Structure 1
Amino acid sequence: MALLRWLTSSVALSAITTAYANVPVSLPTRLVAWSPTDWFEDIAVRPNGNLLLANLKYAPSIYELTDSTLDFDRFRINSVKQLVGITETTTDVFALVGSNHSLSTNIATNSSVIFKIDCNDNASAEPQLIARLPGAVMPSGVTTVPGNPRIILVADSGLGLLWRVDMETGKVSVGAQIPEMRSGLAGGISAVKIRNDYLWWTNLSGNAVYKIRVDKDGNVIQGATAELVVQLPSAKLEDLTFGPGDEDTLWVVTGADGQVFAVNSEGDILYVVESADLIDATAVVFGRTERDFKMLYITTRRGKVVVIDTTGLGDGASHNQNLRQVKLQSGGKYYMS
């Protein structure tokens, strides 16, 4: 069993540089939890604020991070080797993407599956098999279609396409396959989200974020073409999210160099966050409770969960006050409050 290590020393401050004024700003960044032998590939947030972590390495498990503890093996699925994706479909109900993917060959043909877990009844939550993806090669990111939450879209980085899965019937089909999703030497489409009637995704080979118009069921609008949102000066764009709250700022984490980019709707890079704790980042999500909706949570393949406090962005006075409060915190466990 991996040993959970809580950071008990000082808060790390990450340097952030604006794209225009080149004025350095600091945001408080903190290591929330560390399980050194694990590889957290994806992250989701429950309505109560707890974090669900998909473990890719060693054990096909979902860990749950609460205010004070990391619950190992919150859910375990023994029929697969890894869990590579998680997304909420309806309130406190989640779809899981499992795989028998080989870390040495990067191939998972005929071995990918979709499960469902219902966390509304904590005592009896058991994973339920929904569908198999017999043609999948390297499943990666997964997202729920907001207008039709019975549908999830699963990125296949190996084939450069999206699988479409009906969580009620188990029907599987190809959801989208367009040139900008194609796989190169580093892989193809990776992260995927739907926002403001657009499907957004990253491509591992091009270090770019794209978007395309979709309907309420997540289908690409007939005649729509992919639009390049931004090409980032970094390798392996692992995941993306929007926020905080209803804001449309796009946040992209990279897997190679410990960077997080904030990009506006015009594709301008607003901020770049760098931290040694963010190296090998895998997934990113904002909190969803009143107390932490401006907290950006990031997982890594090194078994880390890191939080960046974005409260001070765009407001120098409140930001400086926030920094002073953080610096005054003593050592001990970091609580999400």
Structure 2
Amino acid sequence: MFLKFLTFTIAIGGSALGGPIDPFGSSAARVLTQLPEKTWLESIAVRRNGDILATSLFYSSNIFTVTQPSVHAHNTAKILASVPEVNSLLGITEVPGSYDEEAFFFVGGNFTSLTTFSTTVGSFKGFKLTFPRNGNPTVQKVSDLAPFSSFPNSVTAIPQAPGSVLVADSFVGAIGRLDLLTGQYDPRAFAFDDMAVPKGAKLPIGISAMRMKGSYLYYGNPSTQSIYKVKVDSKGYLVKGAQPSLVANISSVAPGLDDFIFDPQGNILLATNSPENAIVHVDVRTGRSKRIIGGPTDPLMPDSTCLAFGRGILDTNTFYVSTGRNISDPTTSARIVAVDASLLNYY
């Protein structure tokens, strides 16, 4: 077992970072919490108890938390954990655990510029955040990933293989598989042409998001503005001979594509990031897509990055959106937006 232990700052309850803000924008959405200046949220997940976890990119290497988001009218984001070994955190996903333990896997590394997406190759690592039933949460380093890892952007758990996770590297243009117990990492477990950065692409990013759903692994590439799927088995391995197929191309609806989730009907809701700053609905059967909230001139969701549905009794129809900030204006900051999906007419 090669699980490595590091020293981190853990703040249970944390220090308040960002005060309440009056809701604005769509009647279906409200700003749940506003963070301080020079913050950028990259990925978001919801705990079993309904609390939100969000990772921060480039400006800090913190995991923020919002407690009981469905209960309070106004919320504050607090620092739950800091990871001083790196300067940026990216994707986060819950990994299957025991009744006595709740755990999340996330990745982090060093960025030298967010505007040009410059990173330090080989600085990226995988971490595990654990919430024991009794006691304080802890952060442990699981793996240094591969020496040439340069932008491990998205991560996803494998429901039937709790000891492994998948890691999508946007610069490498492939999906890796990581063994959480040994730290062994196969950086090219999935490598298809449609995961790579196309020649001449304005945005030097390949695969940026992925999710498992049923017998398929779905993934998105912002450079092609498309979502694809490929057949996998219950352990998350590629089915022999399987080839990717196109689910949807959203270029006619929005010029961006970031992380996505599945709604209760099995269709896709995706964050578009800048300059669209919107959420798009994709019908996975027909490939039809349309913007359902936000937009280039709407200040509600600047640089929308990731989404997650609530897990409490009061917010099962609510999805939360993490945002970056207006990248050209350093005085702006990240926020988390709550959207009541039941009020959106997108069917």
What TM-score range do you get, normalising by the shorter chain? 0.7 to 0.9
Asked whether the 8 Å contact 2:34–2:76 carries over to 1, the reply is no
Q: 2:264 matched to 1:258? A: no
Asked if the contact 2:17/2:79 (under 8 Å) is kept, the reply is no
Task: Give CA deviations for 1:268-322 in whole Å, capped at 9, x if unaligned.
Answer: 2255322421221111111122211110111111211011101135699xxxxxx
What residue ranges of structure 1 are gaps of 5+ in the alignment? 14-26, 317-337
Tell me the equivalent position of 1:96: 106
Is it true that 1:106 corresponds to 2:112 in the alignment? no
- Mapped contact 1:277–1:304 kept (Cα < 8 A): no
- Aligned counterparts of 1:43 and 1:312: Cα–Cα separation in 2: 22
**Preserved contact between residue 208 and residue 231 of structure 1 (Cα < 8 Å):** yes
Please give the alpha-carbon distance, in whole angstroms, between the structure 2 residues aligned to 1:308 and 1:72.
Answer: 21
In the TM superposition, what whole-angstrom CA distance separates every residue of 1:52-80 from its partner, at most 9, and x where no partner exists?
01011322110110135435321111111
**How large is the Cα RMSD of the aligned pairs?**
2.1
Structure 2 gaps of 5+ residues are 1-14, 326-333
Deviation at 1:121, TM superposition (A): 4.2
Tell me how far 1:49 sits from its aligned partner. 0.4
Task: Please tell me the residue identity of whatever aligns with 2:257.
Answer: L
What displacement does 1:183 show? Answer: 1.5
C-alpha distance in structure 2 between counterparts of 1:122 and 1:273, whole Å: 40
Pick from 242, 245, 268 the counterpart of residue 288 of structure 2: 268
Equivalent AA in structure 2 for residue 236 of structure 1 = G
Name the SS of the counterpart of 2:19 in structure 1. coil
Tell me, yes or no, if structure 1 residue 230 matches structure 2 residue 248: yes
Change (3 A) 1:109 1:272: same
Out of 289, 302, 306, the residue aligned to residue 312 of structure 2 is 289
Q: Distance in 1 between matches of 2:16 and 2:192?
A: 41
Conserved? CA contact 1:101–1:138, under 8 Å: no
1:108–1:214 Cα change, 3 Å: farther
Give the alignment of 1:76-225 within 5 angstroms.
76-91=82-97, 92-103=102-113, 104=116, 106-121=118-133, 123-133=135-145, 134-173=147-186, 174-184=188-198, 185=201, 186=203, 187-225=205-243
**1:217 CA displacement:** 1.6
Letter in 2 for 1:33: T
> Relative to structure 1, is the Cα distance of residues 3 and 118 closer, same or farther in structure 2, using a 3 angstrom cutoff?
closer
| Alpha-carbon distance, 1:11 to partner | 4.3
Percent of aligned pairs with the same amino acid: 28
CA distance in 1, matches of 2:302, 2:257: 12
Q: Does 1:306 align with 2:337?
A: yes
Q: Distance in 2 between matches of 1:87 and 1:102?
A: 25
Q: C-alpha distance in 1, partners of 2:238/2:110?
A: 30
Matched AA of 2:303? D
Deviation at 1:105, TM superposition (A): 5.3
> Residue 138 of structure 1 aligns to which amino acid in structure 2?
F
Within the alignment, does 1:63 sit opposite 2:77 as a pair? no
Q: Which secondary structure does the structure 2 equivalent of 1:180 belong to?
A: helix
Q: What amino acid sits opposite 1:248 in the alignment? A: G
Encode CA deviations 1:21-72: one digit per residue, 9 max, x unaligned.
Answer: xxxxxx5111111113210000010000000010113221101101354353
Q: 1:34 to 1:208 in 2, by over 3 A?
A: same
1:79 counterpart SS class: coil
Other structure's SS at 2:112 match: coil
- Matched positions, count: 300
- Which letter maps to 1:260? I
Letter in 2 for 1:5: G
* 1:102 Cα deviation after fit: 2.3
The range that moved more, 199-208 or 27-36, is: 27-36
What letter corresponds to residue 94 of structure 1 in structure 2? F
> What SS does the corresponding residue of 1:311 show, helix, strand or coil?
helix
Cα pair distance change 1:80/1:261, threshold 3 Å: same
Specify the SS of the correspondent of 2:159.
coil
Q: State TM-score, norm by structure 1.
A: 0.84
Distance 1:165 1:116 in 2: 12
> What letter matches 1:199 in structure 2?
L
Secondary structure of the structure 2 residue equivalent to 1:221 = coil
SS in 2 for 1:238: coil
Q: What do residues 173-219 of structure 1 show as CA deviations (whole Å, max 9, x unaligned)?
A: 02200011011332100011100111111102101111110111211
One of 8, 20, 26 as aligned partner of 1:6: 20
3-state SS of paired residue (2:194): helix
